[in-house]
Structure 1
């Protein structure tokens, strides 16, 4: 028995039979794994902060309510409303990014967060999916009408976002946004000369960040020198993270039996993948990697079959963001790259990140619904 009959013409009924239910199921499975790992990792963090044991678990459970609502409600949108939503989110997000420069919370020399009614919000998390959709819109319109300055407008939107991210500074997010933008531009027919200039600009920007941004210099130096340090340094957390994978082996120590989480300040957030490795072993880690790979590859397959250029560019940008964020988090946890404060999608604790990811994947589900291919409600 399915939730809706094929003859059900209600909005939810049409949504159920047109949405990609396999992608939706994989997302919900990631959310469930995230809640399980938050229950395993966060009590130790709460104890160190002198909070009630299940403080983060309760907050994570509360966050799941708007996350599911955003995911489902956004996936109900048609193409026109998806573009409108992206425009609105981008406009509000840019204003909030400007606000963070003056009134944001200063953490480790960067202003990326603002506090609203006791809730910490990172505006850049919401700007990045909105930017991907808007750039796809501009580039697609330029292809339909060469007179329309779509490429120039897309460059302006990207340039504005990049400047605000650098001013925070948030180099990791700047790199992620840049990779997505240039992938979309490449798909839109970016000349090879521009590709070379983009790569050169990225290299110069990375080198400049190392020499002129102290926190970037420290992270890279600690990564290259592999120094220990106290428990609040990145290298200490990486060392503990690698120990967690070694302790976990193939089958793990068992739920609640991990010890490394007691020493990891960010065990419930940036290093939650290490908790999965220690307590549930290689098996759960492979399941998590497999779920991310399934979501990315399934939607890449849908894009290959798509004829609407806007959908091709938008879904490509959004799914690259999603997959690359997962790769960055897991790679830093495994000491393959310097640490970056980037969450593991739908698994790490953090309401701001989870809601932004729900927006991202809600847009992907909306854009890949079968009705968008036959011209219904466009």
Structure 2
């Protein structure tokens, strides 16, 4: 254990945030899965144990990811993109259908399902960071730089949006932020946004889930006219938050967890606020805000463009997703299937989120090691200068 801790590098504050969010996750999932356990005929402890295995597995993946030099992820991203695009297409055609959406594919022989959009988020961000960093010399070249960048963003956006529009929109927004950081011209960014708007309109008007999108937007815009069945989740989430008060009802005392169908995943923030109150909800927000702050510090210190873009893209993805989930829980947006990173119960979501944290920590580790080597070099140079001065003084004295 001591050897593992001594080999754990990178930003210590980010490690602490991950541990705190994992602890909050275990408490909240254990509290909110009673109904799920009853439906599945299992003990709540069994579900908690599986969730804890995912969390510890995620931390193990984060440790492995942070030990790998972040520059290797440039080559890995290309392979991931070659895997991701056909995998997303396969999911749309042959994936498991849940709530009229085909987002998962079954892993043969395991009983687990795999959400391909989780892999797609990681693949696209790392691939964009690679393209933008390698094409800085000719970033305004339309044929060699702009078209490959725009093509990768739009293809992944469409393939995800057909089944999971909210995730696709967040990923598209992060991609645009990366284009801005990567010095893409305003004109080219406007073209990307226009292309995204056209694709969005096509998905919403012609896509297989267009009726679901209309229903959710209408329920959000006109809650007084909405079908009670359509606004059921958002209504009970608001009740949970409203009854939480300042310090909440206490751990395990939530009542709305018995009514919210996704109290352990999409609406886990409502459960947290109900049980731990305004203070508990504020602590969770503060952790994600502090995470963004630490990641921005890593971005500003990164010596290479790829490391800066990689840390920026992954941190923006995690924090935007977190605040989108919390905004939906408090009624600031239409209901979507967006989990709270590292807190919501999940399988592949936790694992890929942990890998993203590991990559950010890999960039941080490289910065720390570079700074340490500079300090060591400065000390060695100073020691050599002092030694040379002593020799010169001695020679003068002998003379």
Both structures adopt the same fold (TM-score exceeding 0.5): yes
Inter-CA distance 243–228: structure 2 relative to 1 (3 Å threshold): farther
1:3-30 per-residue CA deviation (whole Å, 9 max, x = no partner) reads 56xxxxxx974x43x4111111111111
Where does residue 62 of structure 2 map in the other structure? 71
Retained in 2: the 8 A contact 1:44–1:262? yes
C-alpha spacing 1:179/1:58, structure 2 compared with 1 (3 Å): same
Structure 1 residue 194: Cα displacement: 2.5
Contact 1:211 1:217 in 2 (8 A): no
Q: 1:87 to 1:374 in 2, by over 3 A?
A: farther
In 1, Cα distance between the equivalents of 2:324 and 2:205? Answer: 22
1:62-211 equivalent positions in 2, closer than 5 A: 62-116=53-107, 117-144=110-137, 149-166=144-161, 168-211=162-205
Please give the residue correspondences for 1:318-333 in structure 2 after superposition, counting only pairs within 5 Å: 318-333=314-329
Structure 2 residue aligned with 1:241: 237
Distance 1:49 1:229 in 2: 28
Question: How far, CA to CA, are the matches of 1:240 and 1:258 in structure 2?
Answer: 12
Cα distance, 1:187–1:373 mapped onto 2, change above 3 Å: farther
Distance 1:173 1:54 in 2: 31
Q: Equivalents in 2 of 1:169, 1:201: separation in Å?
A: 19
- Greater shift, 194-203 or 263-272, is seen at 194-203
Q: Is the 8 A contact 2:95 2:102 kept in 1?
A: yes
Query: What residue is the counterpart of 1:224 in the other structure?
Result: 221
Would the alpha carbon gap of residues 269 and 323 (structure 1) be closer, same or farther in structure 2, given more than 3 Å must change?
same
Match of 1:8 in 2: none
Question: How many residues matched?
Answer: 364
Displacement of 1:360: 1.1
Aligned equivalents of 2:241 and 2:92: distance in 1? Answer: 38
1:336 is matched with 332
Q: Structure 1's 89 and 209: CA in aligned 2 closer, same or farther, altered over 3 A? A: closer
2:325–2:338 Cα contact (<8 Å) kept: yes
Which whole-Å deviations, capped at 9, do the CAs of 1:285-326 have from their partners, x for residues lacking one? 111101100111111122123331111211111111011100
The TM-score with structure 1 as length reference comes to: 0.89
Q: Distance in 2 between matches of 1:134 and 1:350?
A: 25
Report what 1:278 is aligned to.
Answer: 274
Q: Is residue 45–residue 267 contact of structure 1 (8 Å, CA) maintained in 2?
A: no
- The 10-residue stretch of structure 1 (215-224 or 299-308) with the greater mean CA deviation from structure 2: 299-308
Alignment partner of 1:143: what SS?
Answer: coil
User: Where does residue 300 of structure 1 map in the other structure?
Assistant: 296
Confirm or deny: 8 A CA contact 1:82 1:366 kept in the other structure: no
Structure 2: runs of 5 or more not aligned: 374-399
Question: Partner residue of 1:43?
Answer: 34
How many angstroms does 1:51 deviate by? Answer: 3.7
What's the counterpart of residue 349 of structure 2? 353
Give the secondary structure class of the aligned counterpart of 2:163.
coil
Query: Normalising to structure 2: TM-score of the pair?
Result: 0.84
Task: Give yes or no for the alignment of 1:215 onto 2:206.
Answer: no
Task: Check conservation: 1:292, 1:323, Cα contact below 8 A.
Answer: yes
Segment of structure 1 superposing worse, 51-60 or 204-213: 204-213
Q: What is the deviation of 1:66? A: 1.7
